[in-house]
Structure 1
Amino acid sequence: MDSNSLHDFYFDRYQRYKAAADMIYDFQDRSPSMKILDIGSFDNTFAAFLPEHTVMPYDRIIDSAQGGLPYSDRYFDMAVAMDVLEHVPPSERAFFIREISRVSRLGFILAFPIASAAETEDFVLELTGSVWLAEHKRYGLPEPDEIEALLREMGFSFIRRPNACLPSWMAMMLLMHGTEKPMRIKISSFFNRHFYELENGEPAYRYIYLCTKSDKGN
């Protein structure tokens, strides 16, 4: 899939996939071709952004009651979990992070809408009735300070990048609501091509973390 086709992805998916892929490309000098686990993926879209790598989707629930991921330690070079943590009950979030770190040899990417975006999400939910945003409200958006403290406690260093400027995210979500698919694709393509580079700043809708092992894979 060429870069022009990638622009046709729904704007909210394109923003996080493109940013995460760029972080992996910045990181990949350690391993030119990597095996990557994409947690929460239902259609393996992220693979289109990483054609040089092998991306495996995983769409099952990860929690302590079900025993975690069915892979051995360090089975993958990296794991990514994009816009998944907010769908995990707060009591299970530490276990979730431990599991994705356990199966990743070099490190992992964690992306999630942040707690300060909750009021804006509530407004969009009120006007659109989005089932995904309803679950965000049920579990609560993760607080970056809490997640960062947990990552440090686990011995990870991390790079944090803002992703999806909150006012633009709100406007685009409302603009997209109720539009037919061809129109959504056309709007997303224009937005992704012309404005993506301007959207990775504060105030942000989500943060994306590149978390690395303390031993750096050695």
Structure 2
Amino acid sequence: MSTDSLWFDRYQRFAKAAELIRSLAAGRRLSVLDVGSFDNAFAAFLPEHQVTANTEKISLKHGGLSQPDNSVDITVALDVLEHVAHHDRFFFIEELQRVAKMGLVLGFPIAQAAYAEEYVLGLTGSVWLREHKKHGLPDPAEVEGMLSKLQLEFERHPNAALPSWTAMMLLMHGVEDLTLKKELSSFFNRHFYALENREPAYRYIYLCRSLKKTKP
């Protein structure tokens, strides 16, 4: 599939996550588990690697991933954590770590962007943003505390500049023609993506490596 015409917000997180995973590959073909994916669109950004979509619900009530420990190279969860209940978030990240041999990539809209989401939600009634409000956007400081507790070494990368994200969400809501929506996303992705990984950010993406797995 062509990636350029993907909805701009998905393109931004997929493109950045793919860059981070390639930085770990060192020429190897990696196995990647895309947790929370519903259509495996992320696989198109990493055609040289084996990307598998996983739609299992991860919670203390439902249990964790069905995969064995250290069964894949990388786990990825992009814009999933904000749909997980607050009391399940540590367990969710712990499961991502458990099945990954090399590390994990975790991306989510941050609590500091809640005011922009609230504005967009009020004008658009977005179902996805309404669920974000239900569970609360993750606080980076709190998530980083969880990562440290799990002995994960991490890098934090800003993704989706908040002013552009807000304007594009409102613009796309006002366009009904699906072909035009794709054209707008394609134009934005091709010309402006490289400028969008900056503060103030709508989303942070973390590249995490497990210290207890990499050190003797």
* TM-score, reference length from structure 1: 0.96
Q: Aligned pair 1:201/2:201, yes or no?
A: no
Q: Is the 8 A contact 1:35 1:76 kept in 2?
A: yes
Q: Secondary structure at the match of 1:64?
A: coil
Amino acid at match of 1:113: P
Alignment match, 1:181: 178
Map 1:40-55 to 2 at 5 A.
40-55=36-51
Which whole-Å CA distance do the structure 1 matches of 2:127 and 2:215 have between them? Answer: 39
Aligned residues: 214
| 1: CA distance, partners of 2:215 / 2:158 | 26
1:112-151 Cα distance to aligned partner (Å, 9 max, x none): 0000000100000000000000000000000000000110
Unaligned runs of 5+ residues in structure 1 are: none
1:15, 1:164 within 8 Å by CA — same for their partners in 2?
A: yes
How far does residue 60 in structure 1 lie from its aligned partner after superposition?
2.3
CA contact (8 A) 1:106 1:217 kept: no
Runs of 4+ in structure 1 deviating by more than 2 angstroms, as ranges, are: 215-218
The residue matched to 2:61 in structure 1 has which SS?
Answer: helix
**Which runs of structure 2 are paired with 1:32-111 in the superposition (5 Å)?**
32-111=28-107
Which residue among 7, 12, 15 is the counterpart of 1:10?
7
How far apart, CA to CA, are the structure 2 residues paired with 1:126 and 1:177? 12
- Mapped to 1, the partners of 2:120 and 2:95 lie a distance apart of 32
| CA distance in structure 2 between the aligned counterparts of 1:69 and 1:178, rounded to whole angstroms | 39
CA distance in 1, matches of 2:156, 2:91: 21
CA–CA separation in structure 1 for the residues paired with 2:202 and 2:63: 31
SS in 2 for 1:86: helix
Q: Deviations over 1:46-74 (max 9, x none)?
A: 00000011111011211111121111001
Aligned Cα root-mean-square deviation (Å): 1.1
Q: What are the equivalent positions in structure 2 for 1:153-168 lying under 5 Å apart?
A: 153-168=149-164
Q: Which runs of 5+ in 2 are unaligned?
A: none
> Would the alpha carbon gap of residues 25 and 217 (structure 1) be closer, same or farther in structure 2, given more than 3 Å must change?
farther
Cα contact 1:105–1:217 (8 A) shared by 2: no
Give the match's secondary structure for 1:68. coil
Contact in 2 for aligned 1:37/1:79 (Cα 8 Å): yes
Query: What secondary structure does 1:202 align onto?
Result: coil
Q: What CA distance in whole angstroms lies between the structure 2 residues aligned with 1:217 and 1:79?
A: 19
Displacement of 1:178: 4.0
Output the CA distance in 1 between the equivalents of 2:182 and 2:92: 33
CA distance, structure 2, for counterparts of residue 217 and residue 57 of structure 1: 29
Distance (whole Å) between structure 1 residues aligned to residue 160 and residue 215 of structure 2: 30
In 2: Cα distance, 1:217 partner to 1:50 partner: 28
